[in-house]
Structures are given as structure tokens and as C-alpha cells.
Chains A and B, each alone.
Chain A
Amino acid sequence: MRIHCVQHQLLRGVQTVARAISPRASMPILGNVLLEASEDRVKLAATDLELGIESYVEATVAEDGAVTLPARILTDIVSNLPEGDVEIRVPEGESRATITCEKVRFEVLGLPAADFPVLPSSDGDVLVRLDAGLLRTMIRQTSFAVSTDETRPFLTGVYLVLEGETGQLVATDGGRLALRRAKIPSPEGGKITAIVPGKTMSELVRALGGVEGEVTIASHENQVLFALPGMRFISRLIAGQFPNYEQVIPKEYKQRIRVGTERLLRAVRRASITARDSANVVRLSASDGTLTITSNTPDVGTAEEQVGVEVEGDAVPVAFNAKFLMDALGNIDAAEVFFDLTGPLSPGALRPVEHPDYVYVLAPVRVYG
């Protein structure tokens, strides 16, 4: 293999795919990045067997070929090379690469490309095409609510629902639930659902950051494929039944509070400083145009803050986990929100005032003593 490419493009590709690598890789080859040269590009790939990321880097290919190189060393080398043209050569039948840039020369020992796990080359069955920016927003607004408790695997992913002209992402850890809806071009076939691992979604959000254009979501056997301009994500899906989330979204409210999102976020953040124990409890109560937010920890101290709001309905004093509130308020992308309360020990809901495409449901905290 012998190729020439541009240092900063190569670096971007290596950094993108290396995100798939697990720090606790079980086999040496899973700590490596695959480089595969053909036609006018180099394909880079890495995987932890759950998620595979591929990235394509423009290159002048003098000789086809493939090799795998340790991701950490490769990243360190490429990021420290001078800007300019990089040459990578791998002698036929060997897995030792020579990386040259201006007057710099590295020789790196790798492993044969034949040992690298095969990622499906198929484009799969296309499910839907979405604007990259919209997909990024949808994932960002939901994926923070996934469970990190691996004993309940079906909650550790984001639930993707495609039905008619509506696409939906839903995530919950049992204590709160985030749902983002969007109008989408009608998908092929009927209703499609899948639980996509939280890690895949957070890496996808990161990669979508610098991307403009369309993302194609496709399925291939038990995997989901996200094709972005210049890269591809291949992820396993989580087996299991996602809980019946529709029934937990409140349809009515006892009290509706209309409040500035940033104002509420700042108040909750301050109150969380003295919020008690691991449940991070802040108490809310609104009446006569004032929302009062309090917190106390016996050995630490107390906080109280008033926020001017519009209130409809009778006061419903309720306690929530401050983190649950901050996560949602920081991602809701709305100047004002409705905070709907249904009872002191019943779920509350946050919705943007401007549109109905987002809802965040949170279960209260019961405080003893």
C-alpha cells in the first residue's frame, strides 16, 4: 500500500473513527485503526464490536492495500506532523507502516488487516433520509435521558420510531423521559422501531457537529447504519421491549407554569448547590405569579429563590431531582417553557411554548424526614 493524503484531513478521519474504540479493548486488534486504500481514497475504520465508525479520506493511491495501526500511536503521530502532504507506505505482505511528512519519518508496527473484524459493506435497506442538523438536535434533546444502568439494557438506548410522516426519538431511565418528534419524509414500509445504544447516539451527535447535508438511516440485519457525508456509523441494536412511554406522558395538568427557560435553569442550578443527598432534591411551588424554588440539606444549608412566572391552576408543591430539570432546560431550545404539574407525587412535564414537538416528563422525588 502506498498513499498520499493531506495531514489535517487524515487527522480528522483518525480522530473520528478512534472514538469507537473502547478503552478496555478485549483484543489488541480492537485497539487499532484499519486503513484501506483503493481508487482515490483511504477508508479508516475502528470498532468495539458494538459500534463501528468508518471515515473516508481523499488520497492519491499509488498502490492499493490495507493495514491496521494502533489508534493511540497513529493519533499522536498524525496530530504532531507538520501540516502538509503525508505519505503512508506498507510493503506488500507486511503490517509495518512508514509514515513520512516533509523531513519526518515514523515506522509503526501494526497488525494484518485480515484480522480486523468485518464491518458490513452493504448500504442496507434505507429507512429514512434526514437533515443532519435536525437529527443532531433530536439526538441531543433526548440521549441525555438514557439509562446508564447496564442491568436494564433496553433503557440504555434511544428508541427510534418512524411512522407515517413522523419520526420520533425517545429516551428514559425510569425517572424521566425525553421525547422529540419531527416531520420526516415518509419512510419506506410501515412502522419502524429500534433501540439504538446510547453510546452510538452520543458519538453520532459529536460527528454530526461539523456536518452539513443529509444523513441516511438504514438497517442491515440486526444493525443500524447511519451514512453521513464522508463517514458511516454501523451499530448493533439493543434487543428488548422499550417501555410503553406514551402512557406516562401527562395529557392534562393541575397547574401550568409559564416561565423563561434560562431564568428557570439558573434558579435550579443555584438551588442545586444545597440540594440534599444523591437525589439532588429541589422543591417547587408556584402561586400568584411567583415560582418559589427551595432546597435544603440539614448539615449544609438552604437556598430559596423567587422567579416571576405566569400561573394557571392551583399550587402543586412538588420536589424534583435538580439534575433532571437542568438536563432538560439546557437542551430544550426554547425561550419559554410550560411546566405542567399533575400532583405532588405525580409526573410533571416540560414543553416548549412555541411548538409541540418536544416533551420532557419527570417523576417527582418523595422526600422523607
Chain B
Amino acid sequence: MERLARIIAHVDMDAFYAAIEVRDHPRYRGFPVVVGAPPSARGVVAAASYEARRYGIRSAMPSREARARCPQAIFLPVDMEKYRAVSAQLFEILETFTPRIEPLSIDEAFLDLTGCPVPGGGARQEASRADGPGAAEDPGLAIGRAIKARIRAALDLPASIGVAPNKFLAKLASELAKPDGLRRIGPEEVQEVLDPLPVTFLWGVGEETRRRLGSMGITTIGALRRAPTSVLRASLGFAAEHLAALSRGIDDRPVEAGARAKSVGREVTFAHDTRDPEILRRTLASLAEEVARGLRGQGLRGQTVTLKVRYGDFRTVTRRATLDAPTDTGQDLYRAAEWMWSRIPERGRAIRLLGVSASRLGRSAQLDLFGGGRRDRADRVMDAINTRFGDGAVRPGRLADAEDPDRSHPAAGVGQGAGSASAVRRR
């Protein structure tokens, strides 16, 4: 029996927070809108409207810098509760198209549309079975168009949707379609689309890899594809196979549907391998804090803490510790991570990546006889302030030395794909 070619969609809302604010305050339409910390405070931009982006304003940029770039920009505080509610509506809409949804963040998801009925396409037409005579439109594209229309009609918000045979290409397609676009990358045009793009479009290519490839004269995906894998392997180790496959548009990762988060994790790849204990300690502290916020944001607590360390030669070690009770505080996660860290031999070696994650998740809170509750409340107050004024407005003392969390680990790969610095979802 013939296996159906997969149809994967990547749905990504455009400037989500800013778009919601503009929708709810029509007088701001057409103006540069920045959602995040006020420019007078320390703190960063959470989202910028496309008008604001024209001035070079990006999310995670300090609000002060955003103001300097565009003094007339409208600064609005983050209203996380509202955005979460809109996100819930968005996912309800997506679920009417397919049950196979893998949420990536509050406003972004992969959908597996393989075999799904095309809305208004009649009973005969289903995804991936439409290329007979008389087929009107590619079924993936038709469903993508319907999703986009539904989002527009129900939420009055712009979305960009990419449709392709796999996750990597779908995400690339939505990126190329932005803003407010719809784009399909079909099997026949993969090479034509990929070849001219810079290598940084590939999932997993950060600054360091880009530099290594550049030194071999490889700057585009096309050049990478034509380079012999043996040459790549010499320079990149076993990341070479992965990149070689992606450069050909090959990506077998399934859409991990309905899988409730089994773990919440953050990891960071350093721009340059480091052995500086102070940087490593601070990075651990800020990873622990980010994981804790991720947990609290979803109302979850984790009882098992995993530390991941990757050395410069890509050798990776992981350590696991189980706490007495599930936690959602950065302090507990940091204590466990630091403890495991202090017991890893070879700590003197240069480190490429650090990761912290929490698993064995649950929603209940085992109370502490000895009054761990105060810590709890402090975290919640901190979240409230950070939500109100933007990430990093307040941070625990452990992080006080870290001038700026982004600076202590500059290559935090927030950009491409499901790579580093995004919530880890594993089996």
C-alpha cells in the first residue's frame, strides 16, 4: 500500500501580542506598537508590530533601545492573561481541522493535515489525494487557506501559514510567507527554494556553525548541499548528517500530537565554548529560573530535574535528580542543577551547551512543613512584575551579577525552529 505523502502545516501568528492590542485599540492601527517593559524601566520588548519592526525594533531588545530607535512608538504593558485566552481560542479553531496538533508556543503550532478533509472540497477530496484530473487546488494549500480565513473571521488577527511535506519546510514556508501570508513548499520546488537561502535558515545552525561553514566558503544551503558529507563531518562532527539531510529538505520528525508536555526545559548554546565557572554558574541559574517560569506559566510542577552538558567535542552527559516534592521555583531547580553540576567530573573542559529541564510533571503542590511557602509567594510576585513590565524587570539575587541574561549566553537560539531555548517536549 502506498504511504501517503505527509501534509504538515505550520501556523504562526504575526506579532501576536501587538496584533491583539491593535485589534482591541483600533486607534493604534498603523502606528508602531511595542508590547513589553516601559522604556523608563529595565526590561525588554515582548512583541513589536510590523510598523515598529521597520525601525529595527525586535522582541527581546531592551525597551530603552526601542524607544531610542523609534521615539514615537506606543508602549503597552504585557497582558498575559488576555493573550492566553486568545491562544486558547486559536487552538480551539485549529482543533476543528485536525486532532494532530503540536503546540510550539502560545501562538505557534505544527498541524499534521495528512488525509484531512478539505473544507468545502466535497466528500471525495481529501488531503494528499487531489492530484487527479480536475483537482482544483493543492489540498494542503486549500486547508491552509481555510484555517487562515477562520482565524481572521473568529479572532480578527493575522496569521502566517506554511504548508509542506515536513516540519522543517512548513516552518520555513510560514517564515517566508510572513506577514499575513500563506505559502506552500511542494516536493518539486524544495531545492529551488532552499538553495539560495543562507545556512542560518537551517534548524540547528547557530553563530558557531555558520562561522565554521563560512570558513569553508559555504554560506548558502545550496553550497552546503553540494559539499560532500565527509568534508562536513570533519568540521561539524555528527551534526553533519543532520544538516546534510535538512539541506535536501529531508526531515522525518513527526508532529507530536496531543502529547501533553512531559517536561519543560531550556537549553543554551554558547557563542564560544566556555569553561568560565562564573558564566556557567550564572547560565545555570538563569536556565533554572526560565524553566521555573515556564512551569508556573503552565501551572505545572516538576519533581525530576535533568542537567545536560555538551562539551566542545559534542560529547553530551546528562544527570538526573529527584526532589522530595514537585516544585516550580527557580531556587529548587537551581539547587538541584548546581548539585549535579558540582558532581560532574571534567568540569574544567570547554562547554558548548548547558540545559536544564524538569519532568515528572503535575499540578498539585505538596506543601512544606517548614514553610517553603514564602519562597512561593515571592516567585509569584516576581512573575506578576515581569509580566507587567517585561521579562527581566526583576530577577532573583542569584542572577543579579548577570548584567543581562541575553549577554551571558549570546547565542540563545530563539530564532530558528524547535532548536535551543524553546520548551522541550519529549516522549
Interface residues of A in 260-318 (CB under 8 A from B): 276-279, 281
B365 with A279: CB separation less than 8 A: yes
* Contact of B360 with A by CB under 8 A: yes
Using CB atoms, name the residue of chain A closest to B340. Answer: A151
Residues of chain B at the chain A interface (Cβ within 8 Å):
299, 303, 321-326, 335-336, 339, 360-370, 372
Using CB atoms, name the residue of chain A closest to B334. Answer: A151
A363 with B366: CB separation less than 8 A: yes
B370 with A149: CB separation less than 8 A: no
Given contacts A175-B369, A368-B299, contact A148 B322 (CB under 8 A): yes
7 extra A-B contacts, CB within 8 A, seeds A279-B326, A365-B367:
A147-B324, A149-B336, A177-B369, A279-B325, A364-B367, A365-B364, A369-B299
Interface residues of A in 339-356 (CB under 8 A from B): 345, 347
CA–CA, A369 and B298, complex, Å: 11
B364 with A281: CB separation less than 8 A: yes
What are 30 residue pairs bridging A and B, where the CB atoms are less than 8 Å apart in the complex? A148-B324, A149-B321, A149-B324, A150-B321, A151-B323, A151-B335, A152-B335, A174-B324, A174-B325, A174-B372, A175-B366, A177-B369, A243-B370, A277-B326, A278-B303, A278-B326, A278-B360, A279-B326, A279-B364, A279-B366, A319-B364, A321-B366, A347-B369, A361-B369, A363-B369, A364-B367, A365-B366, A366-B365, A368-B365, A369-B363
CA–CA, A90 and B115, complex, Å: 76
B366 with A367: CB separation less than 8 A: no
A279 with B362: CB separation less than 8 A: yes
- Residues of B within 8 Å of A16, CB to CB, are none
CA–CA, A281 and B363, complex, Å: 10
CA–CA, A277 and B363, complex, Å: 7
Which among A176, A243, A364, A366 has the greatest number of chain B C-beta atoms within 10 A?
A366
* Contact of A172 with B by CB under 8 A: yes
- A82 CB, min distance to chain B CBs, angstroms: 45
Using CB atoms, name the residue of chain A closest to B335. Answer: A151
Residues of chain A at the chain B interface (Cβ within 8 Å):
147-152, 155, 172-177, 243-244, 248, 276-279, 281, 319, 321, 345, 347, 361, 363-369
8 nearest A-B pairs in the assembled complex, by CB-CB distance: A277-B362, A279-B364, A363-B367, A151-B339, A173-B324, A366-B365, A278-B362, A248-B369
- B264 CB, min distance to chain A CBs, angstroms: 14
CA–CA, A141 and B335, complex, Å: 30
B367 with A278: CB separation less than 8 A: no
- Residues of B within 8 Å of A364, CB to CB, are 367
Using CB atoms, name the residue of chain A closest to B332. Answer: A151
- B360 CB, min distance to chain A CBs, angstroms: 5
- A95 CB, min distance to chain B CBs, angstroms: 30
- A179 CB, min distance to chain B CBs, angstroms: 12
Which among A152, A172, A279 has the greatest number of chain B C-beta atoms within 10 A?
A279
CA–CA, A345 and B368, complex, Å: 10
Given contacts A151-B339, A248-B370, contact A175 B365 (CB under 8 A): no
Which among B360, B361, B369 has the greatest number of chain A C-beta atoms within 10 A?
B369
Using CB atoms, name the residue of chain B closest to A299. Answer: B260
- B304 CB, min distance to chain A CBs, angstroms: 9
- Residues of A within 8 Å of B362, CB to CB, are 276-279
- B107 CB, min distance to chain A CBs, angstroms: 22
Given contacts A149-B324, A174-B325, A369-B299, contact A277 B369 (CB under 8 A): no
Q: Which of A149, A174, A277 contacts B368 (CB 8 A)?
A: A174
Using CB atoms, name the residue of chain B closest to A324. Answer: B366
A149 with B323: CB separation less than 8 A: yes
- Residues of A within 8 Å of B323, CB to CB, are 149, 151
- B365 CB, min distance to chain A CBs, angstroms: 4
Given contacts A149-B324, A151-B339, contact A174 B365 (CB under 8 A): no
- Residues of B within 8 Å of A277, CB to CB, are 326, 361-364
B364 with A368: CB separation less than 8 A: yes
- B385 CB, min distance to chain A CBs, angstroms: 22
- Residues of A within 8 Å of B369, CB to CB, are 172, 174-177, 248, 347, 361, 363
- Residues of A within 8 Å of B370, CB to CB, are 174, 243-244, 248
CA–CA, A244 and B369, complex, Å: 10
Using CB atoms, name the residue of chain B closest to A147. Answer: B324
B321 with A151: CB separation less than 8 A: yes
CA–CA, A242 and B323, complex, Å: 18
Using CB atoms, name the residue of chain B closest to A367. Answer: B364
B336 with A345: CB separation less than 8 A: no
Using CB atoms, name the residue of chain B closest to A361. Answer: B369
Which among B303, B322, B361, B370 has the greatest number of chain A C-beta atoms within 10 A?
B370
- Residues of B within 8 Å of A363, CB to CB, are 366-369
